[in-house]
Amino acid sequence: MALSPTSLLSCLVSSALLTVLAWAVIKNDSVLKAAGKYICMFLALIVARILLPVEFGFTVTFLSRYVLTGLRDLLLSAVGFGAFEATVGQVLLFLWIAGTMCRFFICAGRYIYFRHKMEKCPGYFKHDVKAVIDRINREYGKEGEFKVLLVPGIQTPAIFGVVHPLILMPGVDYTEGEIYYILKHEMLHFYHHDMLVKIICEALCVVYWWNPAVFLLEKLIVRVQELRVDGLIILGRSEEEKTDYLECIAKSMRAGKQERTSLMITFVSQRGEAMRQRFRFICEGCWTRTGWKGIFTAIIACLLFTASVSVIVEPDYGEDIPGTFSYPNPQTSYLIEDDGYYEIYIDGEFVGKVREITEPFTELKVYKNEEKLTNEE
């Protein structure tokens, strides 16, 4: 595996295209019903693609004669800030890192503040929540421990924490039946590792703070998590029980917005069309359906993921070498032969590929592969 600017670019483009496709699938009820629970696999593969912005040994390379070559020339062009001089690429990298650090400290600060606030909150005393938790654990054969808190500023229930989960309850007067649905909903989020997925999504948003496709992907994942949990709760329920569950959700929606941190999953996480779709799926009980269409969706998802990691586009300079590279130092520059092409490394940095060795690269040493280069060094 090798990480390079072009492998990162290929990762971002392919993951964005896959995210748009996932959005189209999830938005359409009919298509989502056909995809079934396997849409979770599709979203997981998109996350995996973003986490692997590398070029693999089996990756097929295509050369871009104009677009990527021009982009690389732009990134390597020099800009000056008084006595300071850097390339456009270095400036963008600095802004990327600076933005990531700022977003990280903001998220960390909010988390610490919220965690500290939780320590001052009393336990939930309006119902015997321990008995309800024990009942739900018996239904699923689990033994998890959950601390239920009454939290000022919370208008809708939520779950917070990965190792020691806290279920946060507002001061709304819920019935005993509603408490059962709420606790079961939040506990299922925990048992299906949705909190861990939430942390991974937040980490991606911190790193790729400038990429709208990552934020869209996070919203899609939250939407699917809610549909999946709702489907598990209404499984085998009567129409009257489904109505009770819907009324419980509606009651939480009427409570309004709330103070929150990005590392929590709320009982009512989204509104608008996402919530209307959630209501439709609860009424129709669609999420639990599986069949050959779902398996077909899983196969397509795997094929799309494989295609996204199997192709990479590299800049091709041909015989037109940018002036920046006109006089490479033979002591620090070299070529690596790769499937009929030659990778160009100027001062140890990969800059592109050529089909033939021409000026100004005729004096550079040619290595057969990266392993041989590593051995000689």
Task: Annotate 174-210 with three-state secondary structure.
Answer: CCHHHHHHHHHHHHHHHHCCHHHHHHHHHHHHHHCCC
Pick the closest to residue 129 from 111, 149, 143 (CA basis). 149
Q: Judge contact between 158 and 176, C-beta under 8 A.
A: no
Best mean pLDDT range from 5-9, 54-58, 192-196, 286-290: 192-196
pLDDT digits (tens, 9 = 90+) for 126-147: 888 999 999 999 998 988 899 9
Give the integer Cα–Cα distance in Å for 50 and 204. Answer: 8
Q: Do the Cβ atoms of 267 and 156 come closer than 8 Å? A: yes
Indicate the helix (H) or strand (E) that contains 151. Answer: none
Q: In the chain, pLDDT over 70 holds for what percent of residues?
A: 90
How far is residue 144's CA from residue 150's CA, in Å, rounded to a whole number?
20
User: With 50 as the cut, is the pLDDT of residue 7 above it?
Assistant: yes
- Are 86 and 337 spatial neighbours (Cβ–Cβ below 8 Å)? no
Look-up: residue for tokens 């996204």? 308
Q: How far apart are the first and last CA of the chain?
A: 19
pLDDT at position 262, please?
65
Q: What is the mean pLDDT of residues 201-221?
A: 95
DSSP summary character for residue 2: B
b/e per residue 100-136 (b: at least 16 CB within 10 A): eeebeeebeeebeebeeeeeebeebeebebeebbeeb
Question: Rounded to whole angstroms, how far apart are CA atoms 270 and 358?
Answer: 58
Give Cα 186 to chain centroid, integer Å: 21
Say how far apart CA 132 and CA 186 lie, in whole Å: 12
Q: What pLDDT score does 266 carry?
A: 83
Q: Which residues make beta-bridge pairs with 352?
A: 344
Q: Under DSSP, is residue 144 helix (H, G, I), strand (E, B) or coil? A: coil
Residue 114 DSSP symbol: H
Average pLDDT over residues 166-185: 92
Question: Which residues, 6 or more positions from 297, have their beta carbon under 8 angstroms from its beta carbon?
Answer: 34, 35, 36, 38, 39, 42
pLDDT class for 23, splitting at 50, 70, 90? very high
Give me the half-sphere count of Cα atoms (radius 13 Å) on the Cβ side of residue 267: 34
Rounded Cα–Cα distance for residues 165 and 160 (Å) = 6
pLDDT-derived band at 220 (thresholds 50, 70, 90) equals very high
- Indicate the residue type of 98: A
Query: How far is residue 228's CA from residue 207's CA, in Å, rounded to a whole number?
Result: 27
Range of weakest confidence among 106-120, 161-175, 245-259: 245-259
Chain CA centroid to CA 268, Å: 21
Residue 85 phi, psi dihedral angles, 5° rounding:
-135, 135
Query: For residues 64 and 311, what is the distance between their CA atoms, to the nearest angstrom?
Result: 13
